Amino acid sequence: MKLIKYLEEKFNVAQPGDTTWSHAVNSREKLARFLNNPAAMFIESDIRLSLSQCVPVAVHPPETESDLLFTELVDKMRESKQGLKLDFKDPEILIGCLEALGRAPLSQPVLLNADILQGNGANPSKFSASGFLELCKRYYPDGILSIGWTTTANPELGYTAQNIDAMIELCKGLQEVTFPVRACLLPNSWAELQRLMKGKEGYTLTVWNNEPVSDELRDWIRKNTDPAKTFYDFIDEKKDPLKLW
C-alpha cells in the first residue's frame, strides 16, 4: 500500500493504528499549530465553498466561512512531510480542487474523502458516488480514496448490510481505499463492517469521532479492531490528537 509505505518511511510507523491525526484543521491558527508538529502525522481539513469569497475554504458545516483558503492550505503543506486528508463537503468545488492538487504537486499522500453513499437514518449524500470516483481518477489519480457514508451520531443507526453491499459493489477494481467509519456506530455494525476488508490487502478502516470517545467505547475498539488494518482519527478533551494504542 502506497499510504502505509510512506508512513513507514517518513514516520517509522509499523502499522496504520500508530498514525496520529490532527482533526478539523480549518483555520490558519490551527494549521500553524499543527503543521510540522510531531504530534500529528496527518492533517485533516474539511473543504467547502465560501459563500462570501466564492472559493473553496477549510471549514466544517454548517459554517461556510474561514480564514484558511484551500489554495493556502495546499501551499503550506509543501513545507511538511505530513499526509493530508481533504474531506470534501460540496460537490461543486471538487474538480477545481483536484485540478489545483494536480498543479501543486504534493510529495506526501493526499486522501480524497467524501460521504458518497447514504447511511442508515442519515441524509442523502450530496455526491454522485460513481461521479466522485471518476472525477478523482481523472483529475488527481495520485490521490488515495477515502469514501464513506452520511451518518448520524445515534449508535442504534449503525451501518447495515445494504450499506456495506453498496460500497463493496462501488469499489470493485479499486486497489487502495480507506473507509471512514464513525466510532460510536462500530459496536452495532462490526459484523457487517468487517466484510469491507475481507480478502482486500489494500483496504483499511479509518475510525473517527467528532468528540472524545468514552472509555467504554475506547476499550471496545481496542479489543475488537485490528491496528494493522485500521487508522484511528481521535481527539482528546482539548481536541488535540489522541493516540489510541
Q: Which amino acid is at 203?
A: Y
* % of the chain beyond a pLDDT of 70: 100
Say if CB 86 and CB 96 are below 8 A apart.
no
- Decide: helix, strand or coil at residue 144: strand
pLDDT at 160 over 90: yes
Q: Which residues contact 231 (CB under 8 A, 6 or more apart)?
A: 16, 17, 19, 21, 178, 204, 205, 206, 207
Q: How far apart are CA 64 and CA 170, in angstroms?
A: 30
| Range in 94-98, 199-203, 221-225 with the lowest mean pLDDT | 199-203
Question: Can you say whether residue 199 is alpha, beta or left, with left for phi > 0 and alpha for psi between -120 and 50 degrees?
Answer: left
pLDDT at 72 over 90: yes
Write down the residue that cell numbers 468514552 correspond to: 214
Q: Which residue has the higher pLDDT, 240 or 117?
A: 117
C-alpha cell at 63: 459554517
Average pLDDT over residues 97-115: 96
pLDDT at 239 over 90: no
pLDDT at 245 over 90: no
Residue 242's pLDDT band, with cuts at 50, 70 and 90, is: confident
3-state SS track over 162-227: HHHHHHHHHCCCCCCEEEEEEHHHCCCCHHHHHHHHCCCCCEEEEEECCCCCCHHHHHHHHHHCCC
Domains and CATH numbers, the chain: 2-242 (3.20.20)
C-alpha cell at 120: 442508515
- What is the pLDDT at residue 6? 95
Residue 80's pLDDT band, with cuts at 50, 70 and 90, is: very high
> pLDDT, tens digit, for every residue of 204-221?
999 998 888 899 999 999
- What is the pLDDT at residue 1? 77
Q: How far apart are CA 69 and CA 54, in angstroms?
A: 11
Say if CB 225 and CB 12 are below 8 A apart.
no
Phi/psi at 144 (5° precision): -110, 130
pLDDT at 2 over 90: no
pLDDT at 244 over 80: no
pLDDT at 15 over 90: yes
- What is the pLDDT at residue 44? 97
- What is the pLDDT at residue 243? 83
Q: Which amino acid is at 202?
A: G
